[in-house]
């Protein structure tokens, strides 16, 4: 059995994945583009060692931040794990929809597409600025996100046309948007309390400004602060704003790209959500080992 737990940032995917992995004796595979990088822990809300509860986790902390780890690389690594653990239950968890779809759908990359960047965490304004830096005469409208990404990559990946490769149960977590935005804002505050400034400053002091760091929310904003371009409070507000916008894009992508069953999260009693999801899984598969 393969499960995929998806949804926007801050909605409880990690917690659900661990609980289901314990019940179904499953391994967990990361589907977050930024959690593959070593040292990008607090800003990506990466699962802590104690939270894993002994469950095997894969594709976390596998690359140096200076490495450009692409969706093509992820597809290859994820499929190797699917083959390796084909006799086990597997749970994908994360919010990088394009990575997940590349792994689970029948798509073949051509040579030009192997270095494609999804630019998931960049806003339209940031994409537009990057495109202008690439070509000042570029005329693509800043709200045409798909064309901007295609322009930046030179080629686009047409994964929506691909067919599913595996039988997968897609579980989406959702909640009222106001509640989600409040959770995101609170989580950013918690990240600062946990040492986000120190985590990012470590990269900044080493003069590391890789593609991962320049696109990841929480890192790119603090780099602006360290450069003296904005205040710390402005950086924090910008992280919250960009995180909220990213969550909105995640919802839109998942609802348009995959056949997902959505569950409203009960944050007051998360066990209710776990039980609801488990009942759904039991009704929709006979492959649970």
pLDDT in tens, 168-200: 999 999 999 999 999 999 999 999 999 999 999
If asked whether residues 23 and 75 sit together in one domain, one would say yes
Q: Do 104 and 39 sit in the same domain of this protein?
A: yes
145 assigned to some structural domain: yes
| 3-state class percentages of the chain: helix first, strand second, coil last, to nearest 5 | 50, 10, 40
Kindly state whether residues 127 and 231 are assigned to the same domain: no
The domain total for the chain is: 2
In a domain, 213, yes or no: yes
Q: Is residue 171 part of a domain?
A: yes
Asked if residue 221 belongs to a domain, the reply is yes
Same domain, 42 and 108: yes
Specify whether 273 is located in the same domain as 195.
yes
- Predicted structure pTM score: 0.84
67 and 7 in a single domain? The answer is: yes
* pLDDT, average across residues 19-35: 97
Give the three-class secondary structure for 15.
Answer: helix
Assess whether 112 and 228 both reside in one domain. Answer: yes
Contacts of 228 (CB under 8 A, 6+ apart): none
The pLDDT tens digits of the residues spanning 133-177 come to: 766 666 787 778 877 777 777 544 445 567 899 999 999 999 999
Same domain, 220 and 172: yes
The residue from 156, 182, 217 where one domain ends is 156
CATH number of the domain to which 251 belongs: 3.40.50.300
Q: Are residues 202 and 185 in the same domain?
A: yes
With beta carbons less than 8 A apart as the criterion, state whether 95 and 9 touch. Answer: yes
- Shared-domain flag, residues 270 and 128: no
Q: Which has the minimum average pLDDT: 84-93, 117-126, 180-189?
A: 117-126
pLDDT for the residue numbered 128: 76
Same domain, 245 and 164: yes
* 152 within domain boundaries: yes
- Provide the residue range defining the domain that includes 251: 2-116+157-284
Asked whether residue 254 is assigned to any structural domain, the reply reads yes
Per-residue pLDDT, 157: 47
Residue 289 lies in a domain: no
Q: Which two tokens stand for residue 148?
A: 């901007």
**Distance between CA atoms of 272 and 98, rounded to whole angstroms?**
29
> For residue 95, is it within any domain?
yes
Same domain assignment for residues 188 and 273? yes
- The domain boundary, picked from 156, 181, 216, lies at 156
Secondary structure of 146-182 in the HEC alphabet? HHHHHHHHCCCCCHHHCCECCCEEEEEEECCHHHHHH
Inter-residue contact 282 to 288 (CB < 8 Å): yes
């Amino acid at each position: 059995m393969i499960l995929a737990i998806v949804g926007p940032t801050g909605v409880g995917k990690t917690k659900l994945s661990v609980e289901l992995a314990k019940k179904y004796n499953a391994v967990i595979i990361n589907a977050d583009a930024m959690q593959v990088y070593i040292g990008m822990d607090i800003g990506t809300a990466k699962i802590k060692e104690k939270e894993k509860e002994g469950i095997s986790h894969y594709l976390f902390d596998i690359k140096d931040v200076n490495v450009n780890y692409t969706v093509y690389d992820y597809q290859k690594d994820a499929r190797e794990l699917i083959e390796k653990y084909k006799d086990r239950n597997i749970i994908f968890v994360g919010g990088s929809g394009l990575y997940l779809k590349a792994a689970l759908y029948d798509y073949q990359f051509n040579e030009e597409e192997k270095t494609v960047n999804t630019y998931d965490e960049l806003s339209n304004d940031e994409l537009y600025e990057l495109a202008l830096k690439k070509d000042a005469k570029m005329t693509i409208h800043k709200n045409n996100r798909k064309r901007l990404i295609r322009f930046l990559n030179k080629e686009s990946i047409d994964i929506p046309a691909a067919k599913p490769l595996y039988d997968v149960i897609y579980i989406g977590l959702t909640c009222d948007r106001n509640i989600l935005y409040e959770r995101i804002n609170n989580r950013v505050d918690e990240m600062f309390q946990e040492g986000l400034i120190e985590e990012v400053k470590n990269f900044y002091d080493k003069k590391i400004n890789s593609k991962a760091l320049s696109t990841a929310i929480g890192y790119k904003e603090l780099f602006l602060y360290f450069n003296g371009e904005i205040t710390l409070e402005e950086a924090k507000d910008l992280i919250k704003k960009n995180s909220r916008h990213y969550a909105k894009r995640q919802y839109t992508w998942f609802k348009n790209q995959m056949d997902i069953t959505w569950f409203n999260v009960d944050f007051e009693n998360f066990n209710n959500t776990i039980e609801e999801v488990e009942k759904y899984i039991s009704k929709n598969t006979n492959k649970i080992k």
